[in-house]
Amino acid sequence: MAGRNKKTLVKAPLASYSESNGIKVYSAPLKTLKGWNVPSIVENGKTHSYDMAIVSSFGYFIPERIIKSFSYGAMNIHPSLLPKYRGASPIQHTIMNNDKVGGVTIQELHPKVMDAGKIINQKIMDIPQDIYRADLEKIFGDVGGNILIETLKNYSELKEKAYCQDESKVSYAPKLDKNISVIDWNKDTAADIYSKFRAFGDKIPLRSLFQNNSKILSIHFYDIFNPEKLNRDEHKEFKGANPGTILFNWKSSNSIGIVCSHDTIINIKKVRVEGKSTVSAYDFVNGYSITQGQMLI
């Protein structure tokens, strides 16, 4: 299948690989499979059906009639330890919640409930500290490929031992809404903000508001690092600094610190004001005459 990058249809790597190796590629309709059927295989004048479907990041339901058209059924590779994190964004939620353990699940496709099929195989693994979404996707992709091969080699045995998910342990990882990127300085700690940045900041930049003369402008944050505790006894000059306060020269001359909830500080090296290009924090401070102690909204 293909993915979307804004309005450009991007060919999936598997499709490119298949075409380069002489394997026929079919494209299913976008959004819905209503009225669509799996193409048949015609060899030597005889019609055959496919043996199995393997699905990853498909995004919408596959009808039961299509699942049953495969003689060995259909499996899905899901990057979480189901029933934890059913839904579209399990990797992002794994990072946002600072999970220490995660993994990949091979499940039977369920025709009516997303990510609710019987578990055929699972691989449990430790989640590296401070990992970014793209890096964890790569790790889970490699793990998923290996566990898929293992599952196919032992399919009959694993299929027979497949078990239902524990509904009492279900949690969800829904598609991320853009509003999740708005920072609440009074609620979010520096660690919370850093986790969000690693989870989705490259796709949905974290943002806030600031006042420039009489205008309220949106500001996006990039290159966020080093969440830490603000020791107000040691730094008495910041004793009255409320969440959202901008601090200069916190770690270096080219970054700014921002006070967050629970007396924590997040450090930022690059920003982008709405309608402008990305610049260093230093250039932002000079370009907008930001003052020490100015508040973000």
Phi, psi for residue 89 in degrees, rounded to 5: -130, 50
| Inter-residue contact 292 to 247 (CB < 8 Å) | yes
3-state secondary structure string across 172-186? ECCCCCHHHHECCCC
Q: Which residues of 92-109 are buried (b: 16+ CB within 10 A; e: fewer)?
A: bbbbbbebeebbbbbbbb
Q: Is the pLDDT of residue 271 over 80?
A: yes
Residue 105: which of 133, 76, 129 has the closest Cα? 76
Please give the single-letter amino acid code of residue 51. Answer: D
CATH number where 90 lies = 3.40.50.170
Whether the full predicted model's pTM is greater than 0.85, yes or no, is yes
Task: Say yes or no: 192 and 149 in one domain.
Answer: no
**Boundaries of domain holding 114:** 31-169
User: Do 136 and 216 fall into the same domain?
Assistant: no
Asked if residue 117 is part of any domain, the answer here is yes
Domain boundary among 169, 188, 205: 169
List, for residues 138-186, the tens digit of each pLDDT value: 999 999 999 999 999 999 999 999 999 999 999 999 999 999 999 999 9
In the numeric block, which tokens belong to residue 64?
């039961």
Residue 76 banded pLDDT, cuts 50, 70, 90: very high
The Cα 211–Cα 181 span in angstroms is 19
Question: Is pLDDT larger for residue 120 or for residue 6?
Answer: 120
Domain total in the chain:
2
Give CA–CA dist 103/46, Å, rounded.
42
| 243-270: pLDDT as tens digits | 999 987 655 567 888 999 988 889 899 9
pLDDT for residue 5 is more than 50: no
| Residue 209 and residue 143 share a domain | no
